[in-house]
Structure 1
Amino acid sequence: MIFELDYREIQRLQENIRQLPNRAEKVINQTLHTDGVKLVESNVTRLIPVSNRNKNTKWYREHGSVKHAKDTKWSISKTENLGFILKSKGGAANKRGSFGYLVFPDEGRGQEEQNFTERATDIAVPQIMSKLHGKLIETIGGNL
């Protein structure tokens, strides 16, 4: 997936990092691993459509989840240095608690591409950058 960042935002971030030579990495990791994950997850969740299927039927109760992905914790995250991975609790659609249609969130499953991840990231990246600036400025001492 490709997303764009405003070069001025990168320059601003770089200046803030320069003022925290030994602590910036820790602040960035903490922010990405908490706020970053939450922002991307909430933006993807907001874009997940709810089908009109009656999930309270006997078959759904026996073979799968009775909840829609939008109404549950559909994702898992993995933290990395200066980043994170957010992915769906995918798997075979016939496994209980699996949201098989989210295995490929950029295409969704159905008639047309839904681009959950791309659209959510376009919204979340500026919010994450704002959080990063705020946390770095707070750590510097709020004098910027």
Structure 2
Amino acid sequence: MVRFELDTKDLELLMKKIAESPGDVEKAINQSLEREGAALAIEGIIMRMPVSQRGAKAVREKKHARYSNPLMKRMENLGFEIVAKGGASGKKGSFGYLAFPDEGRGSSNPLAHHFFNDGMDDRIPRILDALSEALDEVIEL
């Protein structure tokens, strides 16, 4: 799981536009995060998701999370969370091995993989650009 929230550091970049805006800034930010921000974060995480190999060169034959739309968004006010779908690894169709990738938990996952945080970090500038554009639209109204 990874979470994106606007904090004071991020808001400093957007404060001028927020101050100039006569419209509902909070609504514009939330809509931008839902439409564009969460999708950008999911894309960044999936791009960094490792695909396990079987043998030296053969690609895994089982269905892998990277190619199966494994993540979902949970919207919050001025933020969102990206979590793995399906819950526990014992459930059919679940990608439970994505539950704790940054901690390296489990017998087949002894090393921590930081693709959730790294994927989010890669997308933060683009998410902030999308927020800036949404605020520009609110100011123009």
Which TM-score band (shorter chain)? 0.7 to 0.9
8 A Cα contact 1:75 1:88, kept in partner: yes
8 A Cα contact 2:3 2:82, kept in partner: no
CA distance in 1: counterparts of 2:95 and 2:83, whole angstroms: 11
8 A Cα contact 2:85 2:95, kept in partner: yes
**TM-score normalised according to structure 2 size:** 0.79
Higher relative contact order (CA 8 A, sep 6+): 2
Say whether 1:102 aligns with 2:90: no
| 1:111 shift after superposition | 3.0
Aligned residues: percent identity? Answer: 37
Unmatched runs of 5 consecutive residues or more in structure 1: 57-65
**TM-score normalised according to structure 1 size:** 0.77
Q: Which residue of 2 aligns with 1:126?
A: 125
Amino acid at match of 2:41: V
Within the candidate set 57, 67, 70, 2:63 is matched to 67
Unmatched runs of 5 consecutive residues or more in structure 2: none
Pairwise CA RMSD of aligned residues?
A: 2.7
Moved more, 18-27 or 77-86: 18-27
When the two structures are aligned, how many residues end up with a matched partner?
Answer: 132
CA distance in 2: counterparts of 1:139 and 1:29, whole angstroms: 13
Q: Which residue of 2 aligns with 1:12?
A: 13
Q: Structure 1 residues 92 and 104, CA, compared in 2 at 3 Å: closer, same or farther?
A: same
Moved more, 81-90 or 27-36: 81-90
Q: Which residue of 1 aligns with 2:76?
A: 80
